[in-house]
Amino acid sequence: MITATPEEARTQIVNMVREFVRRDVEPVAAHLDKEDIVPHDLIDKMKEMGLFGITVPEEYGGLGLDYTTFASIFEEISKGFMSLTGPIGTHHILTYVLTHYGTEEQKQRFLPDLAAGRKRGGLALTEPSGGSDVAALETTADKDGEEYVINGTKMFISNGRYGDSFCLLARTDRTAEPKHKGLSCFVVEKGGPGFRVGRDLDKLGYRGVDTCELHFEDFRVPVENLVGEVEGQGFGQVMSGLETGRINIAARAVGVAQAAFNAAIKYAQQRHTFGVPIAEHQAIQLKLADMATKIQAARLLTYDAAAKKDRGDRVDLESGMAKLFASETCQEVTLDAMRIHGGYGYIKESPVERYYRDAPLMIIGEGTNEVMQLLIARQLLRRPEYQI
């Protein structure tokens, strides 16, 4: 257990993660990506480091660390193999929702196993008919005595194949207006009749992560698994959890962009054209300057959102800004890194090719960037006191 000041604890665990990535992750990242292998051995090492319970309070078996440390960990892992953040990404949304909205009995029942990684969690939110319009989801949960009967399908679920417990949003009131007031959040545990894992989804990037469909057909969960044991609160619970999800997505984007930049500047100093390193050509220097500036701006936005979350502030605006800017920066930087590498950046011998394929995930995940722009604008209009 880490016993130190917050700054010391952050330094200790981030250094430990950085060394883990250098020693164990980077040498196998290309192989895992190419073969789309879920690296269970690396995931086990992450469990040993406590990474499944980064922000879970110590009293429930977690590390009890802050969101600044949380973001740092996601950035460091993403520099080596962004996919390895998958097992702990939406897992942390489940632990967040339980920590902040669960009853004491629910915390005692679920959090210790989740924090230790004995059980892996996920977020069952997106559906085949849509993801951004959360209030219109179609999965239902009908109360039947001391149980809820769940019917519906969830799509693009990380940890879907190997996860054990999921934070599932379902409609408990079909007549509620506005619609989001009819949504409730449940902890659903794999097993039993009516819960089926569907097909594995073959992806452009973010490979080595089990991403699946989940099907529910008259699947029964006990009323004790309704988060907070109050219906109609699910939308707010999940949206609050997604604030932290957007911080982790932004941190992933910063990590991938930094890795791409590191590769580009190294290559630019080694590759010669016209008798000099290409780093001496002004066109390359201009790219490198813009890349570095954008990465640092993205990093500052990300850690600003994390620091405000640590203070207990509402950060839907800040996390949305960080996610939007960092993910767009990541896409731009990985493309520029590929262009600096030329043909060598387009072949799988170079990690830059993988960075470029991984980058779009952050533009789509935890709400598309078009939705982020709408959310940011609406929050600015509702909060005229907000100072840029």
How distant is the alpha carbon of residue 375 from its chain centre?
Answer: 19
Task: Check if 366 is active-site.
Answer: yes
Q: What is the DSSP string of 254-269?
A: HHHHHHHHHHHHHHHH
| Rounded distance between C-alpha atoms, residue 114 and residue 116, angstroms | 5
143: β partners: 148
- Whether residue 121 contacts residue 164, with contact meaning beta carbons closer than 8 Å, is answered with yes
| Rounded distance between C-alpha atoms, residue 110 and residue 99, angstroms | 10
Which among 116, 238, 216, 111 has a CA at the least distance from the CA of 160? 216
What is the 8-class DSSP label of residue 50?
T
| Rounded distance between C-alpha atoms, residue 248 and residue 10, angstroms | 16
Q: Copy the structure tokens of residue 126.
A: 């997106």
Question: Angle at the Cα of 364 (from 362 to 366), degrees rounded to 5?
Answer: 80
Instruction: Indicate the angle between helix axes 234-270 and 67-81, nearest 10 degrees.
Output: 50
What is the 8-class DSSP label of residue 201?
P
Strand 211-222 versus strand 183-189 pairing type: unpaired
Cβ neighbours of 15 (radius 10 Å): 11
| Rounded distance between C-alpha atoms, residue 250 and residue 71, angstroms | 8
Q: Copy the structure tokens of residue 33.
A: 């990506």
Q: Which of 105, 332, 366, 385 is catalytic?
A: 366
- Whether residue 43 contacts residue 103, with contact meaning beta carbons closer than 8 Å, is answered with no
Q: Copy the structure tokens of residue 238.
A: 């999940």
Which residues are the active-site residues?
366
